[in-house]
Structure 1
């Protein structure tokens, strides 16, 4: 029977240097009022901030130099991301490309794709969207219906993707499609493709507005969209292996525990001014959970640094981490008598309002709770 492995990780000296560099960069950004701290920084979009991150070497940090990277470790990147998220920096433009799409291309893409795309990502000038979910599939990726059929020099994609964050602004999207008819093995016959959203013909993007009336999500329609052979990721028919490896990056990082961190900071300050000990106990419990989750997330980063594939541990971090993120607005609402708002100028009220409206989606994005627990149960040999 398998078991979880969350071995302790000690940060190298280089990580401390990168932490200092990130803090100095962010302090300068704030001093010059180049950004306002956001409530959910990796869900924001600021192309200019991403370019400045690229200029300072904070994107594609651990990639080879020939692709624009700096050959830092995954642990070096971890501390930089922590600092960015803690500061509320607007990372959303380059987030997907840096977190997972670029890593997928580096590991499984063609040399032509690596040389063309990775340096642009590292420079903060190339942004990606995720083409996994579909209207009738949700988190059951093995049931995707997008079709990929052979064409002269490449493939034609037909189908629909949904909940595609920033597809209306991204340069590329990695699409999971069925390149062979569905057989007994639902995981076979799937392939990933890099789609140029800016230049490809046959793509229609329709906005989906969320609860706070922001246009983050999209529905994307593909009508005979051509993708050249050198934009295929990995081997034809092995898309399931590619996508599960990619999801380990998506599910395990500090973004899965720090989405409502700005609200937690405000809550700590508010409760510190109160004499009620029970309130302090509740906040202390949240902080203890955060410390534990950080150690789990850091352990997964260590596994990725060693070249391992911690899909099971990543699923656990995502499941427990998003439950923690959802708990913060609920506790904050009960402990401090402030009405939530999005625009009344009260930092606590605005952080609470954004957290309450955002939190329901946390346990859906990156895989629903039911899917994640199924992965965990199967990995532990419980089913």
Structure 2
């Protein structure tokens, strides 16, 4: 019998346990949702009162979906190491799920008996004893070392496989050699990286072929974007992997609401990476609450004057156009219905600060925010003072006024999928670095990789990476059908936290050298920390998107109440 065949009884135990957990999870969602109802709709106040349980609910949903996806890939022909890792991840996920369901059940008014009953199942005890044991973790860890950390590979068709191979080679040969200097000297991403990426079509991945990009005209290709982003992020998150996010969001906003003239003008230029773009959404007092944006657009003949501040606007210096979410209706009571998207053009700057003076007296200034990681693109504080934007640059024209919130949201699914891919790329780099170092480093007369605890750590790191990769690729295919908004949020939630955990362990395995800036793993660690913050901060994503969507789905509601 093959290794995978020997693991099939444990795979059957895992499937049975996950099925039982899914049923209990669904019941918990319904019960918690009923606690948050008011007059037949979800109440914002009641949801806020149950934030702790809702947060656990979102995480439980992410871990459960990832485990189900991992186990679904197992059959008698599966690679033995991949089967081991899927079962290691699922076993750890079930432990976490049981604890989360305890919290949710208490808040939802459910007795703890159902969770206790699952903990006591002989099949679960057998699975945990088999796949959570020291022997199982050592065996999996040894396999990870033998594979040099190359785990979680997903079968791709020829075009996607060719793209993956090309961009992995580019990341290894062109990006990685420049990544350390960009990080340590806080440089702007240089043309030596930007120009070859333009030539490879990186900036046009979401743009239809008819408008100069590489996406099919009749459908999206989120999977290609995930493949390319992951490969580039393995070379460097800040200097390569994140460059696609901004054109992705702006492209989707234009596709959702732009006029035909705007699409014809902007999309071919964005696809060519000339100009580069940045997204100005976040404001100093609003954070993730996009609907609370206050940057004001005042109408005058021929266009609009922008006044106010934005912050955390990544790549604003180098960008030639800013996608600015602007309050164009002065009635603040309108909330998100008073927002529009305006495209503010500016010269490109390489430095850490800039100032633009318009002929009519308008002014835009920017200052890069010093950060512990994610250097290269730089995130800017921006100040707009009577900065003029012509009517032609209002996305959607007159009909687009007040619809900016929705145009912006149209890019969020793609942005979250891309961030998941970034997390997977950073994890892949960190795991491979940890494997190499633990093989070379000797402690007490033996390679670090031969120690039981090292092998257990590598097993769990690899299991988490493999699960996140499989989930990201599976959800990308769902998104390409026009569905998957919540699933994209689930994989973003899980992959970004996982990147923190994996890079932390990779750094730890390097010991003192891991804390040295000359070692790449220190960069992976500080870069990974930002992933749970942008493209939807972890808490906002869990509470306002995932938990609420789960409850609406459970109650059969089509729209949020409150």
222, 226, 235: which one pairs with 2:388?
Answer: 226
Q: Report how far residue 128 of structure 1 moved.
A: 1.2
Distance 1:13 1:311 in 2: 27
Q: Which residue of 2 aligns with 1:294?
A: 469
SS in 2 for 1:186: helix
Distance 2:232 2:257 in 1: 28
Quick check: 1:18 aligned with 2:163? yes
String of CA shifts for 1:343-369, please: whole Å, max 9, x gaps.
Answer: 44xxxxx22332443344332222222
Matched length: 372
354, 358, 378: which one pairs with 2:523?
Answer: 354
419, 430, 447: which one pairs with 1:263?
Answer: 430
In the TM superposition, 1:35-74 aligns within 5 A as 36=177, 38=179, 45-72=189-216, 73-74=221-222
Distance 1:208 1:80 in 2: 28
- When structure 1 is superposed on structure 2, of 128-137 and 18-27 the one drifting more is 18-27
Distance 2:169 2:242 in 1: 21
Q: Report how far residue 172 of structure 1 moved.
A: 1.1
Distance 1:23 1:262 in 2: 11
Please tell me whether the aligned partners of residues 367 and 381 of structure 2 are also in contact (alpha carbons under 8 angstroms). Answer: yes
Q: Which residue of 1 aligns with 2:368?
A: 207
Distance 2:188 2:424 in 1: 17
Q: CA 1:360–1:94 in 2, change beyond 3 Å: closer, same or farther?
A: closer
Unmatched 5+ stretches in structure 2: 1-29, 34-60, 73-153, 348-355, 440-446, 553-561
String of CA shifts for 1:75-130, please: whole Å, max 9, x gaps.
Answer: 23332333222344842684334432223223322333322322222223321112
Quick check: 1:247 aligned with 2:396? no
- When structure 1 is superposed on structure 2, of 200-209 and 127-136 the one drifting more is 200-209
In the TM superposition, 1:275-294 aligns within 5 A as 275-294=450-469
Distance 1:131 1:184 in 2: 22
Q: Which residue of 2 aligns with 1:179?
A: 328
String of CA shifts for 1:283-319, please: whole Å, max 9, x gaps.
Answer: 21121111221222223322332233x3322222222
Higher relative contact order (Cα pairs below 8 Å, separated by 6+ residues): 2
Quick check: 1:109 aligned with 2:289? no
String of CA shifts for 1:251-285, please: whole Å, max 9, x gaps.
Answer: 12201333354322211222344211222122211
Distance 1:292 1:213 in 2: 25
Q: Report how far residue 167 of structure 1 moved.
A: 1.0
Compute the RMSD of aligned alpha carbons.
3.2
Rg (Cα) greater in structure: 2
Q: CA 1:83–1:102 in 2, change beyond 3 Å: closer, same or farther?
A: same
Please tell me whether the aligned partners of residues 147 and 159 of structure 1 are also in contact (alpha carbons under 8 angstroms). Answer: yes
Q: CA 1:330–1:85 in 2, change beyond 3 Å: closer, same or farther?
A: closer
Q: CA 1:189–1:62 in 2, change beyond 3 Å: closer, same or farther?
A: closer
SS in 2 for 1:180: coil
- Which structure has more helix as a fraction of its residues? 2
SS in 2 for 1:36: helix
Quick check: 1:156 aligned with 2:305? yes
Q: Which residue of 2 aligns with 1:314?
A: 488
Q: Which residue of 2 aligns with 1:188?
A: 337
Q: Which residue of 2 aligns with 1:347?
A: none
Please tell me whether the aligned partners of residues 507 and 522 of structure 2 are also in contact (alpha carbons under 8 angstroms). Answer: no
Distance 2:175 2:458 in 1: 32
Unmatched 5+ stretches in structure 1: 345-349
Distance 1:111 1:156 in 2: 24
The TM-score normalised by the length of structure 1 is: 0.85
